[in-house]
Structure 1
Amino acid sequence: MKSNPLHFYQTTPEELTNDILKGVDGKLQEFFDKLQPSKKNEEEELLTIEEALTILKCSNQTLWNWRKSGIIPSYRLGNRVYIKRSDINSKLIKQVPDDDE
């Protein structure tokens, strides 16, 4: 059995507490970052047609009509069609009409 040498460092209880808290804080931040992806990553996420249909809760024909009329832009990559989550989110925000109309 291989033995590892022990290293002793002199530290105050306050320094030890601060070091432990920094480590815990860093691990908690990593955990919460995994739970809540950054807004930018979410906004730039490309969705397949099936994923967009699930979010929009509409028929394939309706989504096709919205894409062709330019209501929701789509992007082609090879043979696949994608839609940005940010484009869907911007269309889901209720538009308040102006008082002039």
Structure 2
Amino acid sequence: MEKEVVIIEKWQANEILVRLSTIEKAISDLKAQANPNRKSNVSEYITRADVSRMLKVSIVTVSDWTRKGILTAYKCGNRVYFKQAEVEEALLRINSKKERNKMEKEVVIIEKWQANEILVRLSTIEKAISDLKAQANPNRKSNVSEYITRADVSRMLKVSIVTVSDWTRKGILTAYKCGNRVYFKQAEVEEALLRINSIKK
């Protein structure tokens, strides 16, 4: 019996690699969540200027990609932020699309059973990750919250402590006091970042 083979375009093979990279990132995130002693992630959010440097494009292009839905932006006060992990995933998609255009006529030949095996394993892994995320993030709020300081919020949002205090007075951020110390719940700071579909100039 002759071996069955599947001919796929090279961009499809590249798409498999992109999905594998996304899975690896998701696994890494889950491992970090599983570590109860992990430090607060205060560098997760980056500014438009950071994205501009990261992707080597102008801020105008960053704004354009945000309007088109390629990038997802979050707003707090008059500041605009992006999640670094989401920017990295968008970069993979952008590169994948560029490669697709370059590789339209290039093909890779694999046996049919190999193609099926790849798809089955990818689906199984993605389902397992989805289940783990659901277990790690139940619908009810955890009784134990992660508290961060004004300095942490300042670093996280790349603003001065004066701005953090101003946003607290305006009710944009919610602060908690214990003695002479002021704290914020990291989850609430993240919730204060309002998702926006476009950036108003």
Which band: TM-score by shorter chain? Answer: 0.5 to 0.7
Unaligned regions of 5+ residues in structure 1, if any?
Answer: 1-31, 97-101
Q: Distance in 1 between matches of 2:149 and 2:37?
A: 21
Q: Distance in 2 between matches of 1:73 and 1:66?
A: 9
Kindly state the Cα deviation for residue 44 of structure 1 after the two structures are TM-superposed: 1.6
Q: Distance in 2 between matches of 1:87 and 1:63?
A: 14
- Count of aligned pairs between the two proteins: 65
After superposition, residues 26-65 of structure 1 pair within 5 angstroms as 32=31, 33-34=34-35, 39=137, 44-65=145-166
Q: Which residue of 2 aligns with 1:66?
A: 167
Q: Which residue of 2 aligns with 1:86?
A: 187
Q: What TM-score comes out, normalization by structure 2 length?
A: 0.28
Unaligned regions of 5+ residues in structure 2, if any?
Answer: 1-30, 39-135
Which is higher, the Rg of structure 1 or of structure 2? 1
Q: Distance in 2 between matches of 1:35 and 1:79?
A: 27
Cα RMSD after superposing both structures: 2.9
Deviations 1:19-77 (A, max 9, x none): xxxxxxxxxxxxx4228965566x82100111111111111111111001111010000
The structure with more strand, counted as a fraction of residues? 2
% of aligned pairs identical?
A: 28
Q: Secondary structure at the match of 2:195?
A: coil
4+ aligned runs moved over 3 Å, structure 1: 35-41
Q: Secondary structure at the match of 1:94?
A: strand
Kindly state the Cα deviation for residue 93 of structure 1 after the two structures are TM-superposed: 3.5
